[in-house]
Structure 1
Amino acid sequence: MSLATAAIIAAGRRMDRHGWVPATAGNLSVRLSPGLIAITRSGGHKGLLEPEDVIQVDLDGAPQRQGDRPSAETGLHCGIYRHFPEAGAVLHGHSVAVTVLSRLGGDAIRLSGYELLKAFPGLPTHDATITLPVFDNDQDIPRLQAAVGERWRQAEAVVPGYLIRGHGIYVWGADMPAALMRLEALEFMLACEMEQRRIA
């Protein structure tokens, strides 16, 4: 089993323990080379991954072995890797907090004053704010990726994560540990936001 496959399997189990990838939700990937990524096969439970559940695709999402079927959202992983050469791993999950908060309207969620903001580039202190983009869900993945890419081009600073309304979260990092750290930080802050709104 390759190191990339082992990292994806371990990340899937960790995300499953937190309830971030229920049923067949979510997908995970690792960059193998400038033009090749390892990604979870479509339809499997991410907490029960086996080596054969991880396949290889190019940056256009084309599987490298006949018969392999990548996730329908592979194009969103590829979009991240194409746009950010430093990205080494991408995680997509479907937590309760992400799903609920993304359905409340607006094209972004602002997170301010959290200690865990320090998990993001250029933020050495909690005394900061990030704007986490929220995109409308779209089954046309190229069109959704075009909307995401346009927001990246317009942004002065890109937060390494975004939400899809009523659907899930995408987070990336230089490697799997960095991506997991950012996912965990965002999930914690979003859970806090949801709780705060519930008791307000």
Structure 2
Amino acid sequence: MPELAEAREAIVAAGQRLDRFGWVPATAGNISVRLRDGTVAITRSGGHKGFLDADGVIRVGLDGRSLREGDRPSAETGLHCGIYRRFPEAGAVLHGHSVPVTVLSRLAGESIRLEGYELLKAFPGLATHAAAVELPVFDNDQDIGRLQDAVETRWGGAASVLPGYLLRGHGIYVWGADMPQALMRLEAVEFMLRCELEARRLS
């Protein structure tokens, strides 16, 4: 796990990358990294992720509380911390608001089925395109504690959980062991969801 300075660099670079794809418009989205001391570096509330600098990244505990007076983390910090608490191997979390994610999550039921895509291999345990996954979709909720409870209920005692989910009409959460893996998974899911959206349009 990185120290704070290294994590800040990774988060700033990730914000610029997500911005180039149009996945974090205005002040949308948030990005975090688990630090070596067990705390979390996460984007400050209200900033544009394409214009982040080191001051736009703060530290919080696994309870989501800021570790420095005056620092205000994103309202959705609790969802990042919920991932880190549940998955010790998670080292980075990305949350974006792309058009395919927003549209498809509004049309979906409890999940979106992704099947037959080469990029399914971005997920753990899938070595071939001849596979299918159910990407969970949760109803959005401004009460982050209640939303995290709903997510954890769906995870339940499952031995393996797909490292990503959607919030209806809101956005996507994806995580990985480090920032490169989290970015790779997010890009793979975004590509597949864009294909799904285009397929619906053409049909």
TM-score tier after normalising by the smaller chain length: over 0.9
Counterparts in 2 of 1:154 and 1:194: CA distance versus 1, 3 Å: farther
CA displacement at 1:153 relative to structure 2:
1.1
Corresponding residue of 2:168: 165
2:7 matched to 1:7?
no
Counterparts in 2 of 1:80 and 1:74: CA distance versus 1, 3 Å: same
Q: Which of 89, 92, 95 is the aligned partner of 1:89?
A: 92
2:161 matched to 1:174?
no
Residue deviations 1:106-146 (CA, integer Å, cap 9, x gap): 00000000000001100000000011000000000000000
TM-score by length of 2: 0.96
Q: Letter of the 1:193 partner, please give it.
A: E
- Structure 2: distance between partners of 1:7 and 1:35: 17
- Structure 2: distance between partners of 1:184 and 1:48: 20
Q: Which moved more, 1:150-159 or 1:183-192?
A: 150-159
Q: What is the number of equivalent residue pairs in this alignment?
A: 200
Q: How is 1:137-152 mapped onto 2 (pairs within 5 angstroms)?
A: 137-152=140-155
Residue deviations 1:136-194 (CA, integer Å, cap 9, x gap): 00000000000001111154531100000000000000000000000000000000000
2:47 matched to 1:44?
yes
Q: How is 1:35-114 mapped onto 2 (pairs within 5 angstroms)?
A: 35-114=38-117
Sequence identity of aligned pairs in percent?
A: 74
- Structure 1: distance between partners of 2:88 and 2:160: 16
- Structure 1: distance between partners of 2:152 and 2:38: 19
CA displacement at 1:34 relative to structure 2:
5.6
- Structure 2: distance between partners of 1:149 and 1:16: 29
CA displacement at 1:33 relative to structure 2:
3.0
Q: Letter of the 1:71 partner, please give it.
A: S
CA displacement at 1:35 relative to structure 2:
2.9
Q: What secondary structure is seen at the aligned counterpart in 1 of 2:65?
A: coil
2:28 matched to 1:28?
no
Q: Letter of the 2:77 partner, please give it.
A: T
Q: What secondary structure is seen at the aligned counterpart in 2 of 1:21?
A: coil
Q: Letter of the 1:173 partner, please give it.
A: G
TM-score by length of 1: 0.98
Q: What secondary structure is seen at the aligned counterpart in 2 of 1:33?
A: coil
Corresponding residue of 2:198: 195
Residue deviations 1:78-128 (CA, integer Å, cap 9, x gap): 000000000000000000000000000300000000000001100000000
- RMSD of the TM alignment (CA)? 1.0
Gap runs ≥5 in structure 2:
none
Corresponding residue of 1:121: 124
Counterparts in 2 of 1:109 and 1:156: CA distance versus 1, 3 Å: farther
Q: Letter of the 2:46 partner, please give it.
A: G
